[in-house]
Structure 1
Amino acid sequence: MKTDLPTVSKGIAQLHNVRFYTIKPRAIVCLAYSQAIKCLALSRDDGSIELWDMHYAPYLEKVIQLTPESQAENMAWAGRRLFSVDLTGKLIEWDLNTLQPRHVQSPTGNALWCLDVNSAETELAVGSEEGHINLMNIEQDEINYKLLFRKQQGRVLCCKFDKPGKRLVTGSVGAVRIWNVANGHTLHTMTLSDKDVIVYALQVLKDNTIIAGDSAGFVTVWNAANATQIESCKVLEKNVFALAINEEEDRLVCSGMQPPLIRVLSKTQIKREDSVCERWIRFLQRDVHSHYVKALVVIGDRIISGGQDGLLCISTRGYSAKYAPYLPGKSASLASSGNLLLLRYPQDLQLWRLGVPHDTTENQEQRLAAGSCEQLQLKQMPEKLLQLVVGANKFIQAAAISPDSKWLCYSTLDELRLSRLQCEPLGVQRLTTDLPAELEPASFIIFANELLWLLHAPTRQMRCFTLSEQQVDFAFSIDLSKEMKSHINLVELSPCGKYLIVAGTNHRIAIWQLRGAKSKHLLNLPRYQAPTTALAMHEGRPNLVVAYADGRIVEFDVQKRRLVCETEELFELEEHPHSIRGILLDANNPNIIIVYDEVYLYVVKSYGNEKRHQTVPSKAKRLSKPVESTDIRTFGLKMRLNREHLVQVCRLNEQELVTVGVQTKNYLNMLPEPYQRKKFGAA
């Protein structure tokens, strides 16, 4: 851990740079994209399914948490409906509002490897371990059995409908088969060069062309009309795990294991004497992964990839962005009184005491230029005090430590535990008796003013508890369900304790005025076109700062119910492909705010009317009732600090900030050695 000095309201602040937070890589198993709602579904090997909003900068909106045994092996969209199959033999349709299964079926009773939905979104095919292929009818929001294809030898690892939906192409060990969807019989069987070669990926184009990637590293092209091979190209040394095609079907993207490169092939016309034919020619390659790539998706000019390293990579010709496998919600919680930091991992919690630097000199402010940093020597190194481990199949969805360092609370999907914390000597005493029945699993945990706030996600109730020396009592509950009809992904409590702010995935932001049992809903902010990614409220003034996925930041006066400040063109997607993850405010200078995303920490300042342009009033009308443009200030960028996979930034006190980040080197050290390939000009 080191300490930097960025410029904030008082000129100097100590920044604890926590670099010992290292999450375990969670491999990406498959990707599926819905053009209808612009949502990317991502499955990981720990059983979780992530839903990313792709309208603007990619934003992790929802997470479905499962066990590793029930990880989604493959997924497919039918409009707004998401389906998945797993090796336990279940075909599941997910309710994207409650994040629970909507329909569950076991078509064959054994492991399911693949599925696909036809272009009309009326039928769904699944392939199994024993060689069975089931055709299901998914019309009228149901899943009904329709047809069982004739059994084949070996497992069905991949399947794709043709564009009319009359034929189904499957890949297995040693062969690619074309099936008649009407009767479930085989029309053609195309054998590969070796009977042991495994077909991992398939694509079926509009011109009735089949493209397959196999374990020998070949991409093979067939004419589906007469089952003849058109060409075969060796693109990797071994294992082509994924294929993706762009919308125009003139760019083919492939990747796999050895080497883990993303190679792009271009459809090119080749003239040979008097004839003209089309062939797939190597166009370019992208080296964004160090370990094997399991899944690919092409959205416009963006190539989205994921694999063993767990990094979601989005690359274009202009930029390449990587998104680490963060946990949903807050991963860090601070206790300012004891200089303590609580770090949340999937199956354990770690309590650390932060380092203490040597005393700074008095002329430090004059010695440092604006925006510069200086590393300080520590007289007390960071110390790990405690580690709490839960079961292997449990997942910690929320955790927090009280600001006075006396309480520690965490919740798994099944239970919530509240403990009394003692620092000198170190001890944890869990409360087990005389607990209120309302103390149920929570997706958000907040300590404030000797109160404990818990969000019970199934009922959308915000519950408040009072804390005494060895006692916890239920105080009151606020029903959020009347205003929040969708999944709740952001909850903030104002520093004064008078307001509760809640944001949902339907772009609604609701504010409640807290008056104990008489708490009431105050107002809803006008909906904006982009998802809400971060919230923060000023201390001592009723102003709420909101960040959106398109890079927009606004400040809203809750009492006057009007917009008071907004950005103009601060964060453009081409330059800032990451959405804002959090906002920090300064009680001493309300004109200064700190925002951060995964790679940068920004210091932003609000300016008066003289800085504004003529285009701002039209923007203000989208967010609030008509107001005079002379009353609206604008945010401008003051400075920017570069960081690596920034997880969270917290304020320890008025002059100290804590940044928690993941070091790529430490993160990748947990994986096996990457594939070493010979590079031109290298020894």
Structure 2
Amino acid sequence: MAQYTIHNIRFYDFHPKAIQCMSYEDETSRLALSRADGSIEIWNCKSRPFMQLVLPGDNDSSVEALVWCRGRLFSAGLHGFLLEHNLASREVTLRTPVTGGPTWCLTLSKDKKKLAAGTEGGYVCIFDVVDEGVVYDRVLEKQEGRILHIAWHSSGDYIVTGSVNCVRLWSLKEGRVTRCALGASNRKDEVIVWCVGILDDMTLVSGDSCGKVCFWNAELGTITHSVQTHKADVLTLAICVDQNSVYVAGVDPTIVQLSRVETNTSRGKVEMWIKGNQRSVHTHDVRALAVTATDRVYSGGVDTILTLSYYPPKIVCKFPALPPLGSISVAQEAESLLLQYSDHVELWRLGASSEEGGDSGTFLPITEDRVKMLELHGKEDEVIQWCAVSPKALWIAYLVQGSLRIYHFTPPASGGQPRVQRVREMSRAIERSHQILWLSEARLASASVTGTIQVISVSGSEAVMEKELTLEPGHSVLQMTCDMEGKTLAVVDDKNTITIFDIEGGKSAVLPGHSAPCTAVGIHPLSKEVVAVYADMSIKEYDPSRKRYTAFCRKHLNEPSPELVKKHSVIQRVSFDPDHPDLILLHNDSAFVVVQKGKKAASESQERAPKMKKVMSGSSLGKGEDAGMGAQLSVIRRPNQVLLFSQVKGKAVVSVELNPLQVMDHLPSPLKVKKYGGT
């Protein structure tokens, strides 16, 4: 395998945000979760979970509740509006005011025709969900105290809410509270009911600030069973589909499963709830839980990590927070890096070493340190959503609420200062966008909110739309990539279709469909073959000129490699080396993956490289007598989290990494629990 010089970039100051709430839709196998900065992440969980797109937030946004309704996503927060999000354009298409100000919770009726919102002012607002949006129906009788959580009975006739010192059951037919139960009548301190649920048999479930989970008789308004599950507040609960299990978690981050059992007593059979499996998969407060129809539990909270766990068998998959696409852009020819933050972008020139070779895994002496070439700030209230730098780092572009900003950058001469000039004359034909990509110097591809791909030419102080490329009606761009010459564009859309465009001639090919969604795609710089990697870890190589898979793909890429399947993360990027056309460079969140064609597969793992702590393992990608002569897959595991790995100029690659300890340093202190033998 070829040797490369790796630029280890560890100065990207990326701070993941806490997970606030989440909602899972079984029909589409999608998970929506919100973070503390107001952004919403959409995770595709059809095969193995991966972050498919991000709905950016802003300084004033707040997402406290999320609900899926027939493929449509609704949210609510402290701004006091019920919002509907368009996943295709990444925009808010509907803003409906909610009576009572800030909204803390949302729930959906079982027939998915009505939404209910609980507010700061003690109101429960009911909305009808129609094709055009939502229509205000009515508001229930005002109660004292804020509505912290809300749940809807399967019959559609009852709603249960949680507040301070109170669990209320609402009758929608009568429009008033039929039962009111105190959280703790024998305590002087108030008890906050953080989460509630209701079973089909009218059993109410609540989790409170005392660390208890209580089960209530709805008819009598009394507690039938109480379980001390945690040592601190129970913040969230989720009820399984069969309603025989309830999962709870909170400030004490242990996820506890409560199971329904029947015991024989002197009075006959009595139904009880007992503690079952406990999962310690988080280090800090768990704020959100979601249970699928197959009893898989998604959880998240202050530690910023999304976790999937289920039993049996005992499986725990952790997905660290990653910056969204468009946060890091590489200028390959200039060996520079553009890093995006919420209020500014930074252009860095990579360092260099006088030595070109050495033993594998050794550190080369730095003769030219990295240099921050530019720090470009937006306006005071602007939040940057996407950034891109041209191959020679002469043009910089970023998006602010869909609006395109383009700058021409002139590197400093010897002893001089760099110059930045904004392109102010923008053609009116240029539409608002949610994604951009530099095809070449002064030529840009922009994925507009209307679903088209606009090719924009930039010259001097003017930007003009050159042409439009169109996808199938109803399709929206998820990610774009181009070849080194900027003549071929590969587009992955939300319908799991990969379209190849000859930019001069229009659409050239559409890749065959695959059962799993695509996570990464790349175009070979020499052969123009397209390599696509899917969520089931399948790798496909396609020849657009012949409109079929290559012979190498049909022979050696029939099944996913065991080396890749045993890990739960997906491939995030595909890149190539023009000097070594037989190599395919991939990466996930913890390793580099190199596929080498025409190489006999290694039978044993290669030795650990000194100092770099690399673990290399070879495996065959195909089956048959000569499969081992076809390809070799090597995995180089990294001690840090890999945010981006890409080939740069010559024999150099850049790896942007994040030390997990940096994330932990910015988190608040977790709940202190005394352990046996400790203090």
Q: TM-score range by the shorter chain?
A: 0.7 to 0.9
* 1:483–1:78 distance in 2 versus 1, CA, 3 Å: closer
Q: Does 1:455 align with 2:446?
A: yes
Tell me the SS of whatever aligns to 1:165. coil
Q: Distance in 1 between matches of 2:400 and 2:634?
A: 40
The match for 1:624 is none
Q: 1:558 aligns with which of 537, 544, 556?
A: 544
The equivalent of 1:205 in structure 2 is: 199
More displaced stretch, 176-185 vs 406-415: 406-415
- Which of 258, 277, 282 is 2:275 aligned to? 282
Q: 2:523 aligns with which of 520, 537, 553?
A: 537
Change (3 A) 1:457 1:542: same
Give the CA deviation at 1:353: 2.8
- Whole-angstrom distance in 2 between the partners of 1:429 and 1:507: 39
2:464 aligned partner: 474
| 2:349 counterpart of 1:335 | no
Matched, 1:423 2:417: no
Q: Is the 8 Å Cα contact of residues 83 and 91 (structure 1) preserved in structure 2? A: yes
2:635 counterpart of 1:639: yes
Indicate whether 1:528 and 2:533 are aligned: no
Aligned to 1:489: 478
Residue segments in structure 1 that go unaligned for 5+ positions in a row: 1-7, 616-629
Q: Which moved more, 1:174-183 or 1:101-110?
A: 101-110
Alignment of 1:253 with 2:268, yes or no, is no
| Secondary structure at 2:514 match in 1 | coil
Supply the distance in 2 between the matched residues of 1:78 and 1:431 (Cα, whole angstroms): 43
Of 190-199 and 655-664, deviating more is 190-199
- Structure 2 residue identity aligned to 1:548: Y
- Contact 2:457 / 2:466 at 8 angstroms: preserved in 1? no
1:500-519 alignment, distance < 5 Å: 500-515=489-504, 519=505
Matched letter for residue 540 of structure 1: L
Among residues 5, 13, 16, which one is paired with 2:7 in the alignment? 16
Indicate conservation of the 8 Å contact 1:544/1:558, yes or no.
yes
After superposition, where does 1:261-660 map in structure 2 within 5 Å?
A: 261-272=254-265, 275-299=268-292, 300-316=294-310, 318-360=314-356, 364=358, 368=360, 373-391=361-379, 393-413=381-401, 414-424=403-413, 425-438=416-429, 442-467=433-458, 470-474=460-464, 476-480=466-470, 482-483=471-472, 485-515=474-504, 519-564=505-550, 565=553, 566-570=557-561, 575-606=566-597, 636-660=632-656
Residue deviations 1:527-546 (CA, integer Å, cap 9, x gap): 22222211111111121001
- Judge conservation of contact 1:568–1:634 (CA < 8 Å) in 2: no
Q: Measure the CA separation in 1 of the matches of 2:581 and 2:352.
A: 28
Shift of 1:109: 5.1
**Pairing of 1:222-241 with structure 2 (within 5 A):** 222-241=216-235
For 1:128-167, list aligned pairs within 5 A: 128-139=119-130, 142-167=133-158
Q: Determine the C-alpha separation between the residues in 2 that align with 1:111 and 1:431.
A: 40
Cα separation, 1, equivalents of 2:5 and 2:79? 51
Q: Work out the CA distance in 1 between the residues paired with 2:100 and 2:621.
A: 64
Query: Secondary structure at 1:329's aligned position in 2?
Result: coil
Displacement after TM superposition at 1:484 (Å): 5.7
Shift of the 289–348 alpha-carbon distance from structure 1 to 2, 3 Å rule, reads farther
- Give the superposition deviation at 1:73: 1.3
Matched-pair contact (CA < 8 Å) for 2:446–2:455: no
Cα distance between partner residues in 1 of 2:297 and 2:565? 15
| Alignment gaps of 5+ in structure 2 | 602-619
Relative to structure 2, which stretch is displaced further, 74-83 or 568-577? 568-577
Instruction: Please tell me whether the aligned partners of residues 149 and 183 of structure 1 are also in contact (alpha carbons under 8 angstroms).
Output: no
Shift of 1:608: 9.1
**Residues of 2 paired with 1:183 and 1:124: CA distance?**
18
Deviation at 1:467, TM superposition (A): 4.9
For 1:212, the aligned partner's letter is: S
Deviates more, 1:248-257 or 1:311-320: 311-320
Aligned CA distance change for structure 1 residues 535 and 569 (closer, same or farther; 3 Å): closer
**Residues 73 and 85, structure 1, Cα contact 8 Å, conserved in 2:** yes
* 8 Å Cα contact 1:598/1:643 also seen in 2: no
Corresponding residue for residue 618 of structure 1: none
Note the C-alpha offset of 1:327: 3.2
The separation in 1 between residues aligned to 2:642 and 2:103, in whole angstroms, is 37
Match of 2:30 in 1: 39
Aligned-residue offset at 1:571: 5.8
Describe the shift of the 1:557–1:116 C-alpha distance in structure 2 as closer, same or farther (beyond 3 A).
same
- Structure-1 separation of matches of 2:329 and 2:28: 34
SS in 1 for 2:233: strand
Task: Please give the alpha-carbon distance, in whole angstroms, between the structure 1 residues aligned to 2:281 and 2:195.
Answer: 21
CA RMSD of aligned residues (A): 2.9
- Cα pair distance change 1:335/1:426, threshold 3 Å: farther
Cα drift, residue 255 of structure 1: 1.4
Q: CA deviation at 1:88?
A: 1.9
Q: How far apart, CA to CA, are the structure 1 residues paired with 2:70 and 2:135?
A: 18
Q: Does 1:242 align with 2:231?
A: no
Q: Distance between the aligned counterparts of 1:447 and 1:574, measured in 2?
A: 33
The CA deviation at 1:360 is: 4.8
Separation in 1 of the partners of 2:515 and 2:444? 30
Give me the whole-angstrom Cα distance separating, in 2, the residues matched to 1:139 and 1:438. Answer: 33
Structure 1 residue 39 displacement after superposition: 1.0
| Structure possessing the higher relative contact order (Cα contacts under 8 Å, 6 or more residues apart) | 1
Spell out, residue by residue over 1:566-609, the C-alpha distance to the aligned partner (whole angstroms, 9 max, x if none): 34132689722222111112323333212111122211234599
Larger mean CA deviation between 536-545 and 489-498 belongs to 489-498
Does the Cα contact within 8 Å between 1:25 and 1:670 map onto a contact in 2?
Answer: no
Cα offset for 1:172? 0.8
Percentage identity across aligned positions? 27
Task: Measure the CA separation in 2 of the matches of 1:337 and 1:585.
Answer: 14
Aligned equivalents of 1:55 and 1:377: distance in 2?
A: 46
TM-score normalized by the length of structure 2: 0.88
Instruction: Judge conservation of contact 1:551–1:571 (CA < 8 Å) in 2.
Output: no
Distance across 2 between alignment mates of 1:419 and 1:21: 23
- Does the CA-based 8 Å contact 2:423-2:463 persist in structure 1? no
1:180 is displaced (CA, Å) by 0.8
Relative to structure 1, is the Cα distance of residues 199 and 418 closer, same or farther in structure 2, using a 3 angstrom cutoff?
A: same
Identify if the C-alpha distance between structure 1 residues 678 and 635 changes in structure 2 by more than 3 Å, giving closer, same or farther.
farther
Distance 2:390 2:133 in 1: 47
Counterparts of 1:446 and 1:114 in 2: how far apart (Å)? 38
Verify the 8 A CA contact 2:433 2:449 in the aligned structure 1.
no
Of 177, 180, 185, the residue aligned with 2:171 is 180
Assess if the C-alpha contact under 8 Å between 2:237 and 2:247 holds in 1.
yes
Instruction: Tell me whether 1:26 sits opposite 2:21 in the alignment.
Output: no
